[in-house]
């Protein structure tokens, strides 16, 4: 039987090709000298919506926590929900920095949610019903939150904001790892479910990254070779 620690270590190790491919795409997007102000605004508009969706998604999961949830996990999840709200503010500041004016977040969210493209990572939370499924939420935290790349985006102001977000994302990934380890040790059938979820979630999240950056040369091939896509 695989232990919780072994399950977590397996997923973390196998996530690395996805993270590397994602970094390749993010860097290619931001390193393109032809990138326009409007393209940057659209990109961060999507990230604004993503932070909002993460905040709501984690909040829903908190509202559905079983009464026997360890207190430490309750505290960590509420900390994450607060972090997502702070990230929303940080992305707002990025948009205002790029646009040169104060923005109406409602206007940006309406515009983003009105787009046909569903290229926000937090949409995956609905796909896997993470508000009701602690295993799916833990996997999402490990995969989606763990893939946040440190980027020298646009300029030093934006890079400084994302350095803060990146640090928090790693913390959120660790929350998922701790929860998944406990769930597996309590119920050995969790591993099969978690591995099935992560197998499809990685490809979905890769395509989402491509949707809001670019599909850089060699990135998809790297991930496809690792995961057999």
DSSP conformation letters of 157-196: HHHHHHHHHHHHHHHHHHHHHHHHHHHHHH-TTHHHHHHH
Are residues 94 and 161 in contact, defined by beta-carbon separation less than 8 angstroms?
yes
Average pLDDT of the chain, as a whole number: 93
Torsion angle of alpha carbons 124, 76, 17, 46, nearest 10°?
A: 40
pLDDT above 90 for 154? no
Q: What is the CA radius of gyration of the chain?
A: 17
Check residue 151 and give its pLDDT: 54
Q: What is the pLDDT of residue 147?
A: 63
Residues whose CB falls within 8 Å of the CB of residue 68, separated by 6 or more in sequence, listed in order: none
How far apart, in whole angstroms, are the C-alpha atoms of residue 58 and residue 66?
14
pLDDT tens profile 20-58: 999 999 999 999 999 999 999 999 999 999 999 999 999
Q: What is the pLDDT of residue 223?
A: 97
CATH architecture of 4-227: Orthogonal Bundle (1.10)
Contact at 8 Å (CB) between 46 and 212? yes
Residue 119: per-residue pLDDT = 73
Residues 148-186: b if buried by 16+ CB within 10 A, e if exposed? bbebebbeeebeebbeebeebbeebbbbbbbbbbbbbee
Least confident among 1-5, 12-16, 91-95, 114-118 = 114-118
Report the distance separating Cα 50 and Cα 121, nearest Å.
Answer: 7
């Amino acid at each position: 039987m695989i232990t919780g620690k072994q399950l977590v270590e397996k997923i973390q190790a196998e996530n690395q090709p996805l993270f590397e491919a994602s970094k390749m795409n993010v860097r290619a997007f931001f390193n393109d000298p032809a990138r326009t102000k409007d393209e940057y605004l659209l990109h961060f508009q999507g990230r604004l919506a993503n932070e909002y969706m993460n905040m709501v998604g984690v909040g829903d999961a908190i509202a559905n926590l079983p009464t026997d949830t360890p207190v430490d996990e309750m505290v960590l999840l509420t900390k994450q929900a607060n972090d997502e709200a702070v990230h929303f503010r940080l992305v707002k500041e990025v948009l205002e920095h790029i646009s040169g004016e104060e923005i109406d977040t409602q206007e940006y969210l309406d515009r983003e949610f009105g787009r046909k493209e569903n290229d926000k990572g937090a949409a995956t939370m609905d796909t896997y019903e993470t508000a009701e499924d602690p295993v799916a939420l833990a996997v999402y935290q490990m995969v989606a939150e763990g893939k946040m790349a440190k980027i020298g985006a646009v300029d030093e102001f934006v890079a400084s904001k994302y350095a803060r977000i990146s640090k928090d994302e790693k913390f959120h990934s660790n929350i998922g790892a701790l929860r998944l380890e406990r769930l597996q040790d309590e119920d050995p059938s969790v591993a099969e479910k978690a591995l099935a979820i992560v197998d499809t979630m990685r490809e979905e999240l890769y395509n989402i990254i491509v949707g809001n950056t670019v599909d850089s040369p060699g990135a998809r091939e790297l991930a496809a070779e690792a995961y057999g896509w």
